[in-house]
């Protein structure tokens, strides 16, 4: 009986860690959550080694270890919040371990994404709005709708490439190249006035905000390995976005 219990605990902890890293939580938060749950479940000390591509945990007092590999990372804060709520309820003693296990399975399968069209509308608002916010002197209100459309197209290309092919940096590169190309075309057709503003605005939905933030927070809390990996990921994304726009500027600008 006891053997079985620890096996289940190991599996659930790994699942929790996997979901949290996959959906974009900080490494320290994932480790903290796993440790709290383990202590509440009656383990004295849990050893965790978390990286961006895999998690190793060991419960040394009962000779249990577990490894899980993480293939893809996407951003879904809804899952992080759901897991956080579950772990909070469990450590406060409001739900049992079986309920926690069922809840974690539920989060893994049924927590929804926002619809893609809602994200497209959000990308529209970001592109147009941030264009006006960043360069009030050069940008015009007439550019709001073209910039929004270009930004939305760029975001959707990156979104679907990322979803279907899981190629992280190339999807951003292609998206920013398309953005630059559309902006150049629109300028030639006299649809937009300020080329600079439109490019600045429509690139904004591609900015890897959560990766930058996670990288910083991981570095501060001492997870140097994960922090550096994330920071490099963010820098590379910026470089690829810049390369896409720069390439178009070089040949058509």
Q: Which residue ranges make up the site for another protein (CB under 8 A)?
A: 24-26, 29, 75-81, 84-85, 88, 113-114, 118-119, 121-123, 125-126, 129-130, 132-136, 155, 196, 199-201, 203-205, 207, 209-210, 212-214, 216-217, 220, 238, 242, 245-246, 249-250, 253
In whole angstroms, the minimum distance from the beta carbon of 119 to another protein comes to 5
Contacts of 188 (CB under 8 A, 6+ apart): none
In whole angstroms, the minimum distance from the beta carbon of 61 to another protein comes to 28
In whole angstroms, the minimum distance from the beta carbon of 65 to another protein comes to 28
Residue pair 120/156 in contact (Cβ under 8 Å)? The answer is yes
Choose between 100 and 206: whose C-beta lies nearer to another protein: 206
Choose between 7 and 209: whose C-beta lies nearer to another protein: 209
For 223, the 3-state DSSP assignment is coil
In whole angstroms, the minimum distance from the beta carbon of 71 to another protein comes to 19
Choose between 67 and 224: whose C-beta lies nearer to another protein: 224
In whole angstroms, the minimum distance from the beta carbon of 26 to another protein comes to 7
Residue pair 49/55 in contact (Cβ under 8 Å)? The answer is yes
Output DSSP code: residue 57.
Answer: E
> What's the rounded Cα separation, in Å, for the pair 232 and 212?
9
For 154, the 3-state DSSP assignment is helix
Choose between 84 and 140: whose C-beta lies nearer to another protein: 84
Output DSSP code: residue 114.
Answer: P
Q: What are phi and psi of 83, to 5 degrees?
A: -65, -40
């Amino acid at each position: 009986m006891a053997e079985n219990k620890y096996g289940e605990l190991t599996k659930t902890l790994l699942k929790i860690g996997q979901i949290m890293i996959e959906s974009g939580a900080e490494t320290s938060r994932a480790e903290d959550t796993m440790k709290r749950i383990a202590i509440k479940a009656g383990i004295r000390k849990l050893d965790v080694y978390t990286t961006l591509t895999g998690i190793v945990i060991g419960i040394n007092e009962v000779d249990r270890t577990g490894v899980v590999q993480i293939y893809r990372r996407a951003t879904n804060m809804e899952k992080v919040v759901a897991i956080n709520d579950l772990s909070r309820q469990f450590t406060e003693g409001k739900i049992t371990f079986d309920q926690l296990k069922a809840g974690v399975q539920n989060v893994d399968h049924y927590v929804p994404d926002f619809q893609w069209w809602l994200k497209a509308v959000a990308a529209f608002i970001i592109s147009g709005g941030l264009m006006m916010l960043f360069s009030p002197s050069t940008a015009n209100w007439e550019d709001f709708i073209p910039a929004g459309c270009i930004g939305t197209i760029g975001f959707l290309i990156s979104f679907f490439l990322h979803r279907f092919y899981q190629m992280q940096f190339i999807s951003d590169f292609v998206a920013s190249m398309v953005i630059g190309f559309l902006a150049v075309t629109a300028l030639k057709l006299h649809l937009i006035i300020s080329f600079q503003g439109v490019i600045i605005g429509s690139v904004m939905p591609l900015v890897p905000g959560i990766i930058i933030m996670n990288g910083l927070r991981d570095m501060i809390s001492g997870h140097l390995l994960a922090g550096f990996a994330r920071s490099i990921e963010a820098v590379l994304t910026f470089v690829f976005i810049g390369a896409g726009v720069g390439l178009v500027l070089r040949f058509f600008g």
